[in-house]
């Protein structure tokens, strides 16, 4: 700043005191404008707890980005209060234990019109908030089936899908709605809820009984307990060894025709859009460029087959007025 003042006073017969006052006025104007600027907080807050034994919380951001929602921010649980929560239309609470003070904070937030999406919430503290009476034990590596034919589950696959990790077996309160049922295997329904939709005060809640973040990571990356094990029958360690087990595929190979991870993420997107319907429109990117509705990834192995197979695939795509690159 001093260099600019010196340069100006060299060529213009203006006192340096006047120049100083001029720049001071500009600086004060910027500060005042910034102080009265509109709150530009994103509509979605993701709350994580670095002290939690579950390290997967921040993966919630990847779920939202995959679903086309990029207007969100993270904050640590220990740094938020009710006034801060109230700046956001919706809050995504990842798996973490809660204190009594935090319990009251989230209850007040939702009661006042906030919207809460939570993965494996602390039922010992916020069961009523989540629309459930209690948990009748737990179920590991089971299945869920989307049963809702209303707004949140509308259009999603209703086949039974695998989840990984531990789920609480929710007994839902009167007035709550079971979005997805919990199954102990591919055929046996437990009667408990895997995902619950409810109202609390003037706000809304959607609660997953299991940690979707951890489940999706395991579904995509395989079983970490099988790391460095030869399991698929082919010599040498391959990514497939993390999915192959003596009792069947880690993700249930009878479900290969179902996009299990994608459908469970779609349910998150539907929940956020349901929340937004009571607040304001929520911007969302479409999954594919130029609003294309489908994409095909060539995964065939054509070693030593020449160009004929590739050309056949390209011709097939062109016949359907598609575009392909190899």
| 52-99 pLDDT tens trace | 999 999 999 999 999 999 999 999 999 999 999 999 999 999 999 999
Q: For residues 141-156, give the mean pLDDT.
A: 87
Q: Distance between CA atoms of 14 and 313, rounded to whole angstroms?
A: 76
Same domain, 58 and 125: yes
Same domain, 28 and 89: no
Q: Which residue has the tokens 């359907």?
A: 320
3-class secondary-structure state, position 162: strand
Q: Which domain holds residue 302?
A: 289-319
Same domain, 75 and 167: yes
Residue 183 domain-assigned (yes or no) = yes
Higher pLDDT, 273 or 292: 273
Residue 228 domain-assigned (yes or no) = no
Same domain, 126 and 270: yes
pLDDT of amino acid 293: 81
| Residue % of the chain over a pLDDT of 70 | 83
Same domain, 178 and 267: yes
Q: 24-28, 88-92, 213-217: which range is least confident on average?
A: 24-28
Cα distances (Å, whole numbers) of residue 203 to 14, 192, 198, 238: 62, 24, 9, 48
Higher pLDDT, 295 or 215: 215
Residue 223 domain-assigned (yes or no) = no
Domain count, the chain: 3
Same domain, 150 and 75: yes
- Whether residue 155 has pLDDT greater than 70: yes
Tokens standing for 231?
Answer: 């399991």
56-60: long-range contacts (C-beta < 8 A, 24 or more apart)? Answer: 56/94, 56/95, 56/211, 56/213, 56/214, 56/217, 57/94, 57/95, 57/96, 57/213, 58/94, 59/213, 59/214, 59/216, 59/217, 60/92, 60/94, 60/119, 60/212, 60/213
Q: Record the pTM.
A: 0.80
Same domain, 75 and 182: yes
pLDDT of amino acid 256: 87
Same domain, 157 and 197: yes
Q: What is the per-residue pLDDT across 110-131, written as a single tens digit (0 to 9) for each?
A: 999 999 999 999 999 999 999 9
With vertex at residue 69, the alpha carbon angle to CA 68 and CA 74, rounded to the nearest 5 degrees, is 140
Confidence of residue 204 (pLDDT cuts 50, 70, 90): very high
Tokens standing for 265?
Answer: 């993420």
Same domain, 79 and 129: yes
Q: For residues 9-29, give the mean pLDDT.
A: 45
CATH of the domain at 116: 3.40.50.880
Same domain, 31 and 48: no
């Amino acid at each position: 700043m001093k260099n600019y003042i010196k340069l100006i006073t060299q060529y213009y017969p203006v006192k340096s005191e006047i120049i100083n006052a001029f720049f001071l006025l500009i600086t004060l104007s910027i500060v005042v404008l910034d102080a009265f600027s509109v709150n530009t907080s994103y509509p979605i807050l993701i709350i994580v707890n670095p002290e939690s034994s579950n390290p997967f919380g921040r993966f919630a951001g990847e779920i939202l980005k995959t679903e086309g929602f990029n207007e969100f921010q993270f904050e640590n649980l220990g740094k938020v209060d009710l006034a801060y929560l109230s700046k956001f239309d919706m809050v995504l609470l990842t798996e973490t234990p809660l204190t009594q003070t935090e319990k009251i904070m989230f209850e007040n937030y939702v009661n006042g019109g906030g919207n809460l999406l939570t993965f494996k919430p602390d039922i010992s503290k916020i069961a009523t908030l989540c629309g459930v009476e209690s948990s009748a034990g737990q179920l590991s590596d089971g299945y869920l089936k989307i049963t809702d034919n209303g707004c949140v589950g509308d259009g999603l696959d209703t086949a039974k899908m695998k989840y990984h990790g531990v789920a609480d077996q929710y007994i839902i309160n009167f007035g709550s709605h079971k979005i997805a049922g919990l199954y102990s295997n591919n055929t046996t329904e437990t009667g408990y809820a895997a995902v619950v939709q409810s109202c609390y005060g003037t706000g809304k809640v959607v609660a997953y009984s299991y940690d979707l973040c951890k489940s999706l990571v395991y579904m995509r990356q395989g079983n970490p307990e099988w790391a460095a094990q030869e399991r698929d029958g082919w010599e040498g360690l391959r990514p497939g060894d993390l999915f192959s087990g003596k009792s069947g595929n880690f993700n249930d190979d009878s479900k290969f025709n179902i996009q299990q991870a994608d459908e469970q993420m779609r349910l998150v997107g539907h929940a956020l859009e349901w929340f937004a319907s009571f607040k304001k429109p929520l911007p969302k990117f479409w999954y594919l460029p130029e609003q294309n509705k489908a994409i095909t990834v060539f995964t065939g192995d054509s070693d030593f087959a020449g160009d004929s197979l590739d050309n056949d695939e390209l011709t097939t795509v062109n016949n359907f007025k598609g575009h392909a690159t190899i």
